[in-house]
Structure 1
Amino acid sequence: MEAKLLSRNTKATTGKPVIGVFAPCDPRIDQASRERSTNIIKHAASQLAGKIQLPDGNQAEVVYSDILIDAEAQADQVAKQFKEVGVNILVCVPDTWSFPQLTTLSLLSHFPQDIPINFTTGNSGTRPGVVYTHATSGAIAQYGKLTHINVGKWPDVGQNPEMSADTVEALVDWCYAAATFQGLKGKRVVVFGHDSMGMETALPHVLETRNQFGLEVTRLDMKLLADMLKKESYDKDELKRLRKWLNGHAGERIELPDSAKDSELLDQSLALYLIVRDLMKEIDAVGGGFMSQLEWGSDDRGIQLPVADIMESLFNSSFDHNGPKPVVPFATEADVQALLTQLFMTWLSGGNPPLFMDFRKAWDKEDAKALAEQNDYVIKGHEKWLEKGFVDGVNSGSASFNWAAKPGTGEKEIMSKISFPKAVDYFYYLGNSVHFVSPGEIKGVAARLAYSSLSGMFSMIWDEAETISLPEAMTKEVCEGANPTWPHTFVVPKYATMMEYKQYAPANHFHMTWDLKPARLQFWMDFANVLSVTPWHKRPQFIEGEDRPLPLLYLLNGGEDATKKLKAGKR
């Protein structure tokens, strides 16, 4: 027998999230009940198909097997079916009692220990799939594997029962988290420059990131970018198109006081986007980061180079001069923990743009009240920024253009709200910043990933949050009090008090993604074994209909944090 040379052609879907739907069954029951079980499999798969959007705009693939798993032989057969098409996420939809070890446990033996598995079942007493779910979930928890169960609703009778909307929604949220966990394995991010400005919270924890998330961190020196700018290693015709596109949208809102010199600097900063974009495409990177300070443009011992603000904003936006594009999470100051936070939340939200912000001035209630009084503001009642205070989120780079307007706004309207002033302070002579003020009433999750060498674990400090708008005069005062040329987003946390927010920030940066549900983030933290940190005294431990229920594995091992630490110790 000779060794076989593989084809150089690979499937585009290889390694992407593939959801496999199946069901066990009791071989002793009547044929009508067996047909009903098969119909439930088909229905569940159809409910998931087209609903799990990946950041590149594609949908997660959903497959199903109509072979009911009665015993080991069928478990092996379905496992082989799934493995042949790359299934890496399992959804079990039992409608009858069956025998755990003969069915799902035998199926699971074919897959890695960390493969996500969900049991979604109706609450029927007729042929109790819910009994099977609890028996199997309990058995799996005993040997230390994580599972999630979704005891939902579908009719007890009838050959074609349909899941309730709430049941489908809970399953879809779980699938988004599973697709994020599995879909990012083997992917890579690229970071230009070393540890940014000595900020230890920005460190690329290369080994830990590889072990915990399956992500690679490619590190390239900024000298490569400087050399490529000098060599003009980019498509000059495309640069002209990019500049024309920006001029067409912003016009006089692009500040070029020394027209010839400043125009050249602007072109260089736009060329930087094209260079980095092509380098990232070359190594198939799903995110990036750029150090900038100090060597790039703030140390006058070296050759000063243009600011990267527009470049970073373009990556984090859903469009550029070529039209609609996937969001590519990108972090300023080579902040890798910021990059990872943005990356995970973008995937969990189906590709929504992230926002990179300094945790700048936290205006507590008293500060906000004084601001209102100084500006003769007439209180209308129930202004969140007066009731809780707010954070002025502001940073020189990485602000997605999308955050200049509400979700769903078109490119033209978004760009009409953005200006490009000359960079000030450290970067005055080096190009243009990006400036806008985000509108109010954008809801999502504000969060920040952190790492501790004491536990060897990552944590996510998070809260739901909403943006607010201030009257024009107060907006100007707040912006000028920080930096009037940078983007500003005024954020109010849902549960954290401003004192808690100020005390418990894990770094000087934090990040927000709109339309991200807490349950999705919690499911993903379960898969990735990330500690969930919500030290807000007003947030209940569990909010029904909003949080995911705690997995049984956690309850049997002393709680969520205790179990995650046990799992980390085993890795």
Structure 2
Amino acid sequence: MNAKLLSRKVSEQTGKPVIGVFAPCDPRIDQQSRDRSTAIVRDAAGKIADKIILPDGSHVQVVYSDVLVDGEPQADQVARQFKEAGVNILVCVPDTWSFPQLTALSLMAHFPKDTPINFTTGNSAPRPGVVYTHATAGAIAQYGKLTHINVGKWPDTGQSPQMSDKTLEDLVDWCYAAATFQGLKGRRVVVFGHDSMGMETALPHILETRNQFGLEITRLDMKLLSDMLQKESYYKKEVAKLRSWLDSHAADRLELPDEHKDSELLDKSLALYLIVRDIMVELDAVGGGFMSQLEWGSDARGIQQPVADIMESLFNSTFDHNGPKAVVPFATEADVQALLTQLFMTWLSGGNPPLFMDFRKVWETDDIKEFIEEGDYDLKAEGKWMAKGFVDGVNSGSASFNWAAEPGADEAAIMSKISFPKAVDYFFYLGNSVHFISPGGIKGVAARLAYSSLSGMFSMVWDEAETVELPEKLAQGICNTANPTWPHTFVVPKYASMTEYKQYAPSNHFHMTWGLKPARLQFWMDFTNVLSVTPWQQRPAFIEGTDRPTPLLYLLNGGEVATKKLKAGK
């Protein structure tokens, strides 16, 4: 027999997350009940098919089988159907009692142990799919595999029962986490430069990141970028197009004291975006980072290079001079833990833009009162920002343009709120920064990934959070205490007290993504075995309707942290 030469063409779908929906059934059950089970599979697949969106705007592929898994032969058949379709996420929607080992367990044996599986069922009595769910989940937990169950609601009777909106919402949240977990395996990020300014919290933990997340970190030297700028290895016409686009939005807010020299420097920084963009496209990267300090632009012994603020902001935004685009999470200062945090949260939110911030100054109530009195601000100190305090989130790079306006704002509205002042003096004025103040009322999750060599595990320190809007004069005063030329976002955590927030920050950087639900983050931490860190005394251990239910596997092994440590030790 001759060896077969494969085609050089590869399907764009290969390696992407694919969800397979199926149902077990008892072969003894009447045809009417079997037809109902098939209808539930078809309905569930159809309902989630258009709801799980990747950052590039594409939908996660959903397939289903109308073969009811009655026993081992059907389990093998459906599993092989799924494997041919590239399925790497399993959704089981049982409506009847059946036999776990003969059905789902036999089907799962065809897939790697870390394959996400969800059991979504109605809480029905006539043909108790919920009984099957509990029996199967219990069996799976005994042999140490993670699974999630979603005991929801659909009518006990009728041939075309529709799952409730809440049941669907919980399933969709799980699917987002599973798609993020599977979709990022084998992908890579590109980081230019070495350890960021000696910041140990920014280290690229190459082996650990590969083992835990399946992500590769490609490391390139900044010299490559410096050389390409010097050689002008970019399309000058596209630089002109990008500059024209920027001028059209903000010509009156571009600070160019020396019109000729500063204009050339600005164009050089725009060329840097195009160079890095093309390298990342060539490497099929899903995210990136850039060291900058100190060697790039603020060490007087070397040749000074243009600041990368606009470049970083463009990557993290949903548009550029070519129109709408996918967010490509990008971290300033080559902060790899920042990059990973932004990457995961962007995927979990369906492509929403991340915000990179310094955990700069925590303004507690007393601090605000003193500042108002000393500055002679004539205002009523009312609002959430006064009642609890806030964090001034500010950094010179990586601030997505989208965070200058409310979610959903169009390009023109966003860009109208952004100015581009000259960079601060320790960058030797080689280029322009990005400045805006984020509006209030933006809700999401503020978080930061961390790593410990003691456990060999990653943790995510997180809380729900909301931005607040200060009176204009006071906001500008607050900006002036840090750096008025950088973006500022005033963030209030939902459960953390300001004392807790100050003491428990795992780094000098933190990150926020709007529209990200806690349940999605929690499901993802289950899949990736990341420790969930929420040491806020005001946050309950479980918030019904917000948190995902604790997996049975954790309950049987001493709790979430204990179980994750056991899994990490294997």
TM-score, structure 1 as length reference: 0.99
* Residue in structure 1 matched with residue 292 of structure 2 by the alignment: 292
Equivalence map 1:508-519=2 (5 Å):
508-519=508-519
Query: Does structure 2 retain, via aligned residues, the 8 Å contact 1:375–1:474?
Result: no
Q: Does 1:211 align with 2:211?
A: yes
Change in CA separation of 1:151 and 1:377 when aligned onto 2, cut-off 3 Å = farther
SS of 1:565's partner is helix
Query: Does structure 2 retain, via aligned residues, the 8 Å contact 1:422–1:428?
Result: no
Q: Give the deviation of 1:478 after TM superposition.
A: 0.5
SS of 1:429's partner is coil
State how far apart, in whole Å, the 2-side matches of 1:568 and 1:396 are. Answer: 37
Q: Does 1:379 align with 2:380?
A: yes
Equivalence map 1:121-160=2 (5 Å):
121-160=121-160
Q: Does 1:244 align with 2:236?
A: no
* Residue in structure 1 matched with residue 308 of structure 2 by the alignment: 308
Q: Give the deviation of 1:325 after TM superposition.
A: 0.2
Q: Deviations over 1:429-451 (max 9, x none)?
A: 21100000000000000000000
* Residue in structure 1 matched with residue 550 of structure 2 by the alignment: 550
Q: Deviations over 1:374-405 (max 9, x none)?
A: 44454375x11111100000000000000000
How many residue pairs get matched? 569
* Residue in structure 2 matched with residue 500 of structure 1 by the alignment: 500
Letter in 1 for 2:533: V
* Residue in structure 2 matched with residue 201 of structure 1 by the alignment: 201
State how far apart, in whole Å, the 2-side matches of 1:282 and 1:512 are. Answer: 28
Q: Give the deviation of 1:273 after TM superposition.
A: 0.1
Bigger mean CA deviation after superposition, 216-225 or 416-425: 416-425
Equivalence map 1:104-503=2 (5 Å):
104-373=104-373, 374-379=375-380, 381=382, 383-503=383-503
* Residue in structure 2 matched with residue 36 of structure 1 by the alignment: 36
Letter in 1 for 2:491: V
Query: Does structure 1 retain, via aligned residues, the 8 Å contact 2:38–2:68?
Result: yes
TM-score, structure 2 as length reference: 0.99
Q: Give the deviation of 1:126 after TM superposition.
A: 0.4
State how far apart, in whole Å, the 1-side matches of 2:221 and 2:75 are. Answer: 50
State how far apart, in whole Å, the 1-side matches of 2:300 and 2:526 are. Answer: 47
Query: Does structure 1 retain, via aligned residues, the 8 Å contact 2:297–2:428?
Result: no
SS of 1:8's partner is coil
Q: Give the deviation of 1:160 after TM superposition.
A: 0.3
SS of 1:356's partner is strand
State how far apart, in whole Å, the 1-side matches of 2:454 and 2:171 are. Answer: 35
Query: Does structure 2 retain, via aligned residues, the 8 Å contact 1:375–1:473?
Result: no
SS of 2:569's partner is helix
Q: Give the deviation of 1:369 after TM superposition.
A: 2.4
State how far apart, in whole Å, the 2-side matches of 1:207 and 1:375 are. Answer: 54
Q: Deviations over 1:162-216 (max 9, x none)?
A: 0000000000000000000000000000000000110000000000000000000
Q: Deviations over 1:108-143 (max 9, x none)?
A: 000000000000000001000000000000000000
Letter in 2 for 1:347: W
State how far apart, in whole Å, the 2-side matches of 1:347 and 1:186 are. Answer: 15
* Residue in structure 1 matched with residue 3 of structure 2 by the alignment: 3
Q: Deviations over 1:462-508 (max 9, x none)?
A: 00000001111111111010000000000000000000000000000
User: What is the root-mean-square deviation of aligned Cα atoms in Å?
Assistant: 0.8
Query: Does structure 1 retain, via aligned residues, the 8 Å contact 2:298–2:428?
Result: no
Q: Give the deviation of 1:365 after TM superposition.
A: 1.4
* Residue in structure 2 matched with residue 533 of structure 1 by the alignment: 533
Query: Does structure 2 retain, via aligned residues, the 8 Å contact 1:448–1:461?
Result: yes
Letter in 2 for 1:543: I
SS of 1:430's partner is coil
Query: Does structure 1 retain, via aligned residues, the 8 Å contact 2:25–2:97?
Result: yes
Query: Does structure 1 retain, via aligned residues, the 8 Å contact 2:377–2:474?
Result: no
Q: Does 1:89 align with 2:57?
A: no
Name stretches of at least 5 consecutive residues in structure 1 with no aligned partner.
none
State how far apart, in whole Å, the 1-side matches of 2:376 and 2:160 are. Answer: 63
SS of 2:429's partner is helix
Q: Give the deviation of 1:370 after TM superposition.
A: 2.5
SS of 1:16's partner is coil
Query: Does structure 2 retain, via aligned residues, the 8 Å contact 1:465–1:492?
Result: yes
Query: Does structure 1 retain, via aligned residues, the 8 Å contact 2:289–2:339?
Result: yes
